[in-house]
Amino acid sequence: MDSTGGGIVLNLVSNVEPVNKVKKPPIPQETLKKKKKTPQRNTEGREDNISHQKGNNNSNHDDAKNESSGFSFNFLDDKQTGSRGKGVKQKDGESKNKQPGQPNNNIISSLFRHNPEIPQVKIQKVTENKEAIFSSTQFSELPLHSFMISNIEKNLGFSQMTTVQQRAIPTLLHGQDTLIKSQTGTGKTLAYAVPVVQQLQGLQPKVQRLHGPYALILVPTRELACQSFETLVKLVKPFHWIVPGVLMGGEKKKSEKGRIRKGINILVSTPGRLVDHINTTEALTFSRVRWVILDEADRLLDLGFEKDVTTILNAINEQCQNQKQTVLVSATLSEGVKRLANITLKDPVFIDVAKHQLDKALPPAPWSASSSSTEEQLKPAKTGSQAEETGEGEIGEDAEMFSVPERLKQQFAIVPSKLRLVALTALVAGGFKSPSGCKMLVFLSSCESVDFHYTLFQACKGCSILKEDGTASKREGMPLFRLHGSMSQPDRIKMYHAFSEARKGVLLCTDVAARGLDLPKVKWIVQYNIPGSAADYVHRVGRTARIGKEGQALLFLAPSEVEYIRILEEQQIRIKEQPLDDILSSLMTSEAQDFIHGQFKGQRQRSVEEAATNLQLRYENHVLTNTAHTQQARKAFHSFIRAYATYPSSLKHILHIKKLHLGHAAKSFGLREAPSNIHDRIGNTNGRGTKRKQNSMKVSSVSEFDSGLDESTLMPSKKQKADAKKKRRKLMLQEKRPHPQK
């Protein structure tokens, strides 16, 4: 027995004595057992490998090398079986105790080994910002047209106003510029749409279609444009002469030009497409515009639409001589929104439901009488307590505290990277235990990741299930949907409507679905990847628990990302921990068993570990048995790494690329190979084995309005420095050289 090289070499020599060989004394069995139990050194993040060798081994016993009738099993540690290992690396699914001539029935997996330790998280006490959803006021109490009230109650199904509607509608009916800040799912669309329709139906002379736009509503995404348009169609039903319309990217411009020529009175549009029509469509005029509404104003700025919004507002100011009313609507209040409000709003009223900055009783007079200038009313408040004591409608830094729905249950789960995929499957399967079904949104970091998980789940859930008697059955599967910005416009609209009308299902999406969308009956929000800010977190979880309903939200965190909880707690967001074991236990349910096994023969898994291992192996087989699937997994893995590297600098101490275990992250995409073996990697080589310069990732943080001439770009290069140094030295030598005498 030898232990050279970090491993234990066990030579089992046959009883036949070779000729002319000195018989070696037998090894005591007690010593053999003790040495067999010697713990092997494990390297975190690598799988245990077993090398099987026959004949020639690196043993120090020369006679053992020449024993042709003996077997030699070399049990090597992780270090030996890495890239320099001489043995045959054991593959996933290969049995450690396999006997010759027997099949591989025992599956060995490292899914639950070498994971980082899950830290203990101490939850701090947080006082959440409470925001009352419903008010005690009915729509019938407002000075609205009787047809409007009847339509809202019968066709839209609302009789009681929400708090933001109760405060915003009277203010907008008075014709004041307004900045509305309220949490998601509180009915902000109706808060500005009802006053617009009420004013339009009462205009004299009567509004005609050929007059063109009277109201312009800008929204950041196509899905939100469709949703706002559908709401307006229902709202103007009693007033058939008012025509709403929508313009957005992905649609045929020729059809949109035709609708513009016929006339649109309430125009809903995304900024980019509207700028396109301003430059190319002569029939589009803004001479009669009276209302300009920027819905999800913070998102408009985040997506880089500030230049387009400026172009649109300038076009309106050039063509429209009438006094117009401007409204900014947002669930969060960023510095960009404050800046936009200072530019576009005149003597505005600030409505912040969370801070209760306005009196409960609605006065008949405008509320901005306390401040005559825009700058005074929009100046930052020093402290939140002072603003609450004075009751003034000021936009200050204290407004950055976010509000979430009161009946929303927020949780986080600490999940090691290798277990992320099976944990997501367990969560999805566990959410569908109820007979009535469930609707779930899963937010991912990139379009490629959405496509990969959509394809993976579709392939692994659609198999027929075998009953115990051998007959095939087809149980109702889990409806899967996907939504991201790279999809074609018809596919996006189709998926959006299909998920909205579905009784149950899972929508895999990017942040394109995080703002403004009212998706009915969504009970679960799963954030598979961490959002880039607390504001993004609030918008994501705001897709559930809308209008006073219940909902649940779960945030996936790696052990190295636990400090992100403190970021949320600083914004007065209360969140509790969900143990990983509770999530994985859902794999033992019959629904999960059907999902795991395409050919289910009635045999239940004996443990959670076995169920998770079988599920992971099935995913890996799907990825590795098809070249297209492998390429899709690699592409998704690369996009995940790129997205992880673009988190803002304020989160780099938590979400840094160096804290990621790339091997474990690759396993969460069904990849068994190390990242260095992925051919189309993001590595540092140019294909010839030499290092290449890394492109700066500052592009994502640079505004499109910046000149690019910052300090980093103005710094001279090394060559320029060297040339300047030579020039200075030459000038010094010329000055020291004596002048020739005349």
Q: What is the per-residue pLDDT across 399-420, written as a single tens digit (0 to 9) for each? A: 356 788 888 999 999 999 999 9
pLDDT-derived band of residue 586, with 50, 70 and 90 as boundaries?
A: confident
- Which strand ranges, in their side-by-side order, compose the sheet holding 51-53? 8-12, 71-75, 51-53
Q: How far is CA 149 from the centre of its chain?
A: 39
pLDDT-derived band of residue 719, with 50, 70 and 90 as boundaries?
A: confident
pLDDT-derived band of residue 434, with 50, 70 and 90 as boundaries?
A: low
Give the CA angle between residues 323, 329, 331 to the nearest 5°: 165
Backbone angles phi, psi at 296, to 5 degrees: 50, 55
Exposed / middle / buried, residue 356 (Cβ in 10 Å: 0-12, 13-18, 19+): middle
Instruction: Looking at mean pLDDT, say which of 232-236, 478-482, 536-540 comes out highest.
Output: 232-236
**What is the distance between the alpha carbons of residues 625 and 612, in angstroms, rounded to a whole number?**
20
Q: Which CATH number is 177-346 given?
A: 3.40.50.300
**What is the distance between the alpha carbons of residues 528 and 524, in angstroms, rounded to a whole number?**
12
For residue 111, pLDDT beyond 80: yes
Q: Which CATH number is 409-677 given?
A: 3.40.50.300
pLDDT of residue 587: 87
pLDDT of residue 355: 65
The per-residue pLDDT of the chain, averaged, comes to 76
pLDDT of residue 132: 76
Buried b (16+ CB within 10 A) or exposed e, 415-424: bbbbbbbbbb
226 contacts: CB under 8 Å, gap ≥ 6: 246, 248, 493, 496
pLDDT-derived band of residue 105, with 50, 70 and 90 as boundaries?
A: very low
Backbone angles phi, psi at 656, to 5 degrees: -100, 145
Percent of the chain with pLDDT over 70: 67
**What is the distance between the alpha carbons of residues 189 and 231, in angstroms, rounded to a whole number?**
8
Q: Is 217 helix (H, G, I), strand (E, B) or coil?
A: strand
Length of the chain: 742
Buried b (16+ CB within 10 A) or exposed e, 482-493: bbbeebeeeebb
Q: Hey, where are the domains in the chain? A: 4-75, 177-346, 409-677
Per mean pLDDT, which range of 48-57, 217-226, 505-514 is the poorest? Answer: 48-57
Q: Is 299 helix (H, G, I), strand (E, B) or coil?
A: helix
Quick one: tokens of 345?
């709003």
DSSP 8-state code for residue 612: H
Give me the mean pLDDT over the 680-708 stretch.
40
Helices (H), 120-269: 146-151, 163-173, 188-201, 222-235, 253-262
Tokens 């490629």 correspond to 448
pLDDT-derived band of residue 696, with 50, 70 and 90 as boundaries?
A: very low
313 against 713, higher pLDDT: 313
21 contacts: CB under 8 Å, gap ≥ 6: 63
pLDDT of residue 109: 55
pLDDT of residue 166: 94
**What is the distance between the alpha carbons of residues 420 and 616, in angstroms, rounded to a whole number?**
10
DSSP 8-state code for residue 576: E
Decide if 179 contacts 343 (C-beta within 8 A): no
Decide if 703 contacts 649 (C-beta within 8 A): no
Backbone angles phi, psi at 557, to 5 degrees: -130, 140
Per mean pLDDT, which range of 41-50, 495-504, 545-554, 622-631 is the poorest? Answer: 41-50
Per mean pLDDT, which range of 207-216, 257-266, 657-666, 686-695 is the poorest? Answer: 686-695
**What is the distance between the alpha carbons of residues 73 and 54, in angstroms, rounded to a whole number?**
7
Give the CA angle between residues 269, 273, 274 to the nearest 5°: 60
Whether the link from the prior residue into 205 is cis, omega within 30° of 0, is: yes
| In 22-70, beta strands by DSSP E | 51-53
